[in-house]
């Protein structure tokens, strides 16, 4: 019976993975984009290229976060932790939708490397869940901390007139910080320094590559 339940859950996660990596023409989100009512500013082609790179990186970051949560939900031991991961994944889906919409407005598409980042992040999440819920939650805290830092850097690097992208990133940052706070309250264990450093290295590799392709 437990094997059947795990198989059902696994099939669901595979379906979610395909939906994440093969987005529809317009992804449905549970919340409207923070920039939905903002008019497009007059932005130079050079700035558009830069903004596109930043938003592509942020989209890849959300793909990684989605995969991490799905991997953790697959192997989490406590039901309330599974529920927490599932709720966080829903909010990450909103972020995916907002980034995809913004990329489309800018005449671009998500990174072609997303399947690679997704598989690696889901494996990491599953291993973290196997290691125990407190360690799994620790990965959430550290992941969201690093994502929030990247978002802050990108907010500062956006052209001043690009209010649409700024509003999206600010709401995403607020959500990520909330996820980290909830994970801490749930009993997250702080990860060892070498693990944090490894996560940071992988994150930098993702940001540098996704900016261009």
The binding site for Fe cation consists of: 62, 92, 95, 144, 176, 179
- Is the Cβ–Cβ distance between 134 and 78 less than 8 Å? no
Q: Cα(174)–Cα(51) distance, rounded to whole angstroms?
A: 20
Question: Which residues carry a binding-site annotation?
Answer: 62, 92, 95, 144, 176, 179
Place of tokens 């994944």: 89
In DSSP notation, 127-146 reads: HHHHH-HHHHHHHHHHHHHH
Q: Cα(57)–Cα(32) distance, rounded to whole angstroms?
A: 21
The span from the first CA to the last CA of the chain, in angstroms, equals 44
Gyration radius of the chain over CA positions:
17
Handedness of CA 81, 85, 86, 91 (dihedral sign): positive
- Name the nearest CA neighbour of 165 among 82, 75, 57, 55: 55
């Amino acid at each position: 019976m437990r094997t059947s339940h795990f198989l059902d859950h696994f099939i669901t996660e595979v379906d979610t993975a395909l939906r994440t990596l093969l987005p529809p023409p317009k992804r449905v989100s549970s919340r409207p984009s923070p920039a939905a009512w903002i008019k497009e500013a007059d932005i130079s082609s050079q700035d558009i290229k830069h903004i596109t790179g930043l938003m592509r990186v942020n989209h890849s970051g959300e793909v990684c976060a989605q995969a991490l949560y799905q991997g953790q939900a697959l192997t989490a031991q406590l039901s309330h932790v599974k529920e927490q991961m599932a709720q966080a994944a829903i909010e990450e889906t909103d972020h995916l939708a907002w980034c995809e919409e913004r990329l489309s407005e800018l005449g671009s598409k998500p990174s072609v490397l997303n399947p690679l980042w997704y598989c690696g992040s889901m494996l990491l999440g599953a291993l973290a869940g196997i290691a125990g819920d407190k360690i799994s939650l620790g990965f959430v805290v550290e992941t969201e901390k690093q994502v929030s830092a990247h978002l802050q850097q990108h907010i500062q690097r956006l052209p001043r007139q690009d209010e649409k992208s700024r509003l999206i990133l600010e709401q995403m940052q607020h959500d990520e910080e909330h996820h980290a706070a909830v994970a801490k309250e749930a009993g997250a264990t702080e990860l060892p320094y070498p693990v944090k450093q490894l996560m940071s290295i992988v994150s930098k590799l993702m940001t540098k590559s996704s900016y261009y392709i």
